[in-house]
C-alpha cells in the first residue's frame, strides 16, 4: 500500500529527541500474559491510539474480526524475533484465512539507521512493495547502527527486490518520510508504547516479543467472543 504523503509535519530533531527522553525506552523482550494491558493505566492510554487510516500498511482483509497493530523498529532484535517466530504464524493461520488484519507502524527510536530503514520501507511502499521490503529488513538485521542499514545497503536491498532504482534512491536520499515516522513514533508513545515490539490486539496493548502460542491464545479468545 502506498504511504499517504500529507501527514502533519513536526520539527524533526527537537520532537524526536523529546520522544526518546520522554518515553525513556530501550526495548522489551518480556513475554506478557494474555491478560496484559487490561489495567486502568493502559486502558486510559489506549484512547490515544490513532485510528486505522489509508496511510497505514495493512495485510489481510478489511473486515477481519481481529485487528493486530504492531509498533516496531527495524533494528530492534526482538522485533526481528517477533517477525520470524510469531508473525509467520499470524500470516499463515490467521491473515491468509481472513481472521486477522495486521498493521505495521513505526516506532523508530534506536538511531539514524532506524529512521533510514523506516524511510526506505515507505519508499518501497511507493512502488507497492512495502511488505517485501519490511520482510527483507527483518531478515537482514545485523547489529544496531553498525552499518547494516546504511543508505548504500538500503539501496542494495531495493535493487535485490527489483525496485525502480532511481526513484527509490531519490526518495531515500530526501528522507521525505522522516517527519511522518517521528510523528507515528510519538503517537505510539502517547498510546502507551514504551518499547518494541508492542502489539495492540483489538485495542488492547500487549508489550514485548509475544511468542506464537500467546498470540494464538489471545486471537482465539477474541474470535470466540
Q: For the chain, which domains are there?
A: 12-48+59-223 (3.40.30.10)
What is the C-alpha to C-alpha distance for residues 217 and 125, in angstroms, rounded to an integer?
A: 32
User: Model-level pTM?
Assistant: 0.80
pLDDT band at 143 (very low <50, low <70, confident <90, very high): confident
When comparing pLDDT for 143 and 151, which is higher? 151
What is the C-alpha to C-alpha distance for residues 184 and 208, in angstroms, rounded to an integer?
A: 19
SS3 203: coil
pLDDT tens digit sequence for 210-223 = 999 999 999 999 99
- Give me the pLDDT at residue 10, please: 37
SS3 130: helix
- Compute the CA torsion angle 110, 189, 198, 55 (nearest 10 deg): -90
Amino acid at each position: 500500500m502506498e504511504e499517504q504523503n500529507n501527514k502533519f509535519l513536526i520539527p524533526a530533531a527537537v520532537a524526536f529527541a523529546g520522544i526518546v527522553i520522554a518515553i525513556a525506552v530501550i526495548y522489551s523482550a518480556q513475554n506478557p500474559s494474555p491478560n496484559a494491558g487490561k489495567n486502568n493505566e493502559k486502558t486510559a492510554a489506549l484512547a490515544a491510539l490513532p485510528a486505522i487510516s489509508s496511510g497505514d500498511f495493512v495485510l489481510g482483509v478489511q473486515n477481519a474480526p481481529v485487528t493486530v497493530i504492531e509498533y516496531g523498529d527495524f533494528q530492534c532484535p526482538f522485533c526481528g524475533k517477533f517477525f520470524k517466530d510469531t508473525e509467520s504464524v499470524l500470516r499463515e493461520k490467521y491473515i491468509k484465512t481472513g481472521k486477522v488484519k495486521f498493521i505495521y507502524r513505526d516506532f523508530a527510536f534506536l538511531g539514524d539507521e532506524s529512521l533510514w530503514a523506516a524511510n526506505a520501507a515507505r519508499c518501497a511502499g511507493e512502488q507497492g512493495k512495502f511488505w517485501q521490503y519490511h520482510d527483507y529488513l527483518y531478515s537482514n538485521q545485523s547489529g544496531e547502527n553498525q552499518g547494516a542499514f546504511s543508505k548504500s545497503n538500503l539501496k542494495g536491498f531495493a535493487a535485490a527486490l527489483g525496485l525502480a532504482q532511481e526513484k527509490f534512491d531519490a526518495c531515500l536520499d530526501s528522507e521525505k518520510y522522516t517527519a511522518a515516522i517521528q510523528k507515528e513514533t510519538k503517537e505510539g508513545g502517547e498510546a502507551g508504547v514504551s518499547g518494541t515490539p508492542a502489539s495492540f490486539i483489538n485495542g488492547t496493548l500487549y508489550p514485548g516479543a509475544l511468542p506464537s502460542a500467546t498470540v494464538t491464545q489471545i486471537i482465539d479468545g477474541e474470535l470466540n467472543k
